[in-house]
Amino acid sequence: MAICEDRVIAHVDLDAFYAQVEMVRLGVDEEAPLCVQQWEGVIAVNYPARKRGVTRFDKAGEVKKKCPECILVHVEVLSEEQEQPKAKVSLARYREASARIFKLILREIERVERASIDEAYLDLTDMVKKRRGIRDNDENLSRASDSIILGEGLDPSRKDDLSLIIGSEITSDLRRMIREELGYTCSAGVAHNKTLAKLASAMNKPNCQTLVPNSCVQGLMEKLPFRKIRQLGGKLGGELEALGVETAAQVQCYNLEELSRRFGQKDAHFVFDIVRGIDRSEVVPRSKPKSMLAAKSLSGEQDWDGVNRWLRMLASELHDRMLFDEEVNVREARNLVISFKSGSVPRTTSKTLPMPRGQSNRLERMLKEMQSLLRNTPSFSFPIDFLGLTATNFEDKPADNESINKFLKPSAPGSHQAPIEKVQASKNENPGIKKWLLGPKAPPDPEKQAEELSQETADFLLAKKLQRDDDIEASRQYSTGKSGRAQLKKPRRGTIDSFLQKAPD
């Protein structure tokens, strides 16, 4: 039996996120197949297109062959040069949509941990406690009527199951608001911890939520390939695989001593618990980005002219975001990290510089220091395949403008607007490059910019991280070919088997 049954945690993940953003933006019919394309590749496939066999691993040409009526929308390109090597794509549309979604979630739920551009963990424990009223069992059960329930169902006379039911009601309300106010569908998992909630949110996509009662956890672990547990997808999972085990329950056969001998004490405890569905990790409320990254994959820049051009573009982009972040979040980045990949060196190298202090001339000072650092770095050799600049290690500044602080806080329930009157757009030191970065559109208004900045994670880093996800995870995300947006009228019992069968391993 899983512990931590006092807590109720939801994991919410948008369905085919980038594709939905384009559908809403372009007013595309819900049933129309649509993919988001980046150059020849496909980075998001909506559910109608998945139903016709399109996957994220298809090239744009293959998509058209499989599904001639599929709408292909290219991600935004931030340059007059529309060719891949010279142009930089922008994920700003998706960051902005993400910001709006998170603003809504924060309006309704206090403890929210942003896990990526399109997913969040919600700690519903306190809200559940407040909503627990006296109702009869049948009435309580009906509160989970639009959820799929794993295992043998729920017993509303049990405290842990009742908490889950109330958590599912809160999650369902939230999903409905996201749908009605912003137009996006999402899926959710509701469980007693983060790991189980995350597993469940992927089980019945799209537009559905799945509950994980404690009573089903051991049954789930019996059949669950341990690789599906997010934290066991990487190196640790690889080491476990070497033991010749496949399911979480098979890993349960190893006691703590045996696991400690192989993995060390800390990892052993973690593995021991997680394969039993035990996860004590907290939902960490977080809405400010930990770092800001501007990066570009290059096709082998051969000389300083090319590298300097990219350094300037990336530094300008980063600097723009920093200026606004300084105003809105009342803090300053202390470090600047330059990452690069030389053709001759297989790994990415990162070097850290103190961030030049003070805003005056800072962009120029950043550039000068970066260039001098790179010139003195022996491993920096042409051709260069990747450049990334990260502003990190933020320190709070003494607050001098209360209205800006207020601006960041979620608005009160029922009110959709944060106070913005006193927030000024940042002064830009390089209008030419700003124009280039913003493309032909008018600069976004301060509210939009602030929303984006306050919520933004490093989208590029996210894409990189997601790309590194192992094949099992990727095929899981893209193999759930279930379609249709209809909500269930009655509680449904979900078979764990059907989820497990969906994922080719």
Binding site for ligand CTP (CB under 6 A): 13-18, 36, 43-44, 118, 205-206, 463, 466-467, 477
Shortest Å distance, C-beta 158 to ligand CTP: 31
Helix (H, G, I), strand (E, B) or coil at 290: coil
Closest CB to ligand CTP among residues 335, 477: 477
How many residues make up the chain in this entry? 505
Shortest Å distance, C-beta 250 to ligand CTP: 27
Closest CB to ligand CTP among residues 477, 483: 477
Shortest Å distance, C-beta 469 to ligand CTP: 7
Helix (H, G, I), strand (E, B) or coil at 367: helix
Which of Ca ion, ligand CTP, none does 44 bind, CB closer than 5 to 8 A by kind?
ligand CTP
Shortest Å distance, C-beta 473 to ligand CTP: 8
Which of ligand CTP, Ca ion, none does 160 bind, CB closer than 5 to 8 A by kind?
none
Which of Ca ion, ligand CTP, none does 18 bind, CB closer than 5 to 8 A by kind?
ligand CTP
E strand or H helix that includes residue 269: helix 265-274
Contact letters for Ca ion, residues 5-24 (x by CB under 5 A): --------xx--x-------
Question: Residues 412-417: contacts with CB within 8 Å, 24+ apart?
Answer: 412/107, 413/107, 413/108, 415/107, 416/107, 416/181
- Helix H, strand E, coil C: the string for 122-190 is EECHHHHHHHCCCCCHHHHHHCCCCEEEECCCCCCCCHHHHHHHHHHHHHHHHHHHHHHHHCCCEEEEE
Instruction: Sheet containing 292-301: give its strands across.
Output: 292-301, 384-396, 331-342, 349-354
Shortest Å distance, C-beta 118 to Ca ion: 5
Closest CB to ligand CTP among residues 99, 127: 99
Closest CB to ligand CTP among residues 160, 452: 452
- Is 139 labeled as catalytic in the residue annotation? no
Residue least distant from ligand CTP (Cβ):
44
- Single out the residue of 149, 35, 13 nearest to residue 490, CA to CA: 149
Q: What is the rounded distance in angstroms from the CA atom of residue 167 to the CA atom of residue 314?
A: 43
- Single out the residue of 168, 184, 175, 188 nearest to residue 121, CA to CA: 188
Question: Residues 133-141: contacts with CB within 8 Å, 24+ apart?
Answer: 140/165, 141/165, 141/491
Closest CB to ligand CTP among residues 348, 483: 483
By CB under 5 A, the count of residues binding Ca ion is 5
Catalytic residue selected from 22, 119, 169, 327: 119
Q: In this structure, what DSSP letter does residue 489 have?
A: S
Closest CB to ligand CTP among residues 236, 474: 474
Q: What is the rounded distance in angstroms from the CA atom of residue 209 to the CA atom of residue 144?
A: 10
Contact letters for Ca ion, residues 95-134 (x by CB under 5 A): -----------------------xx---------------
Q: Is 459 a binder of Ca ion (CB under 5 A)?
A: no
**Interface residue list for Ca ion (CB under 5 A):** 13-14, 17, 118-119
Question: What are the catalytic residues?
Answer: 119
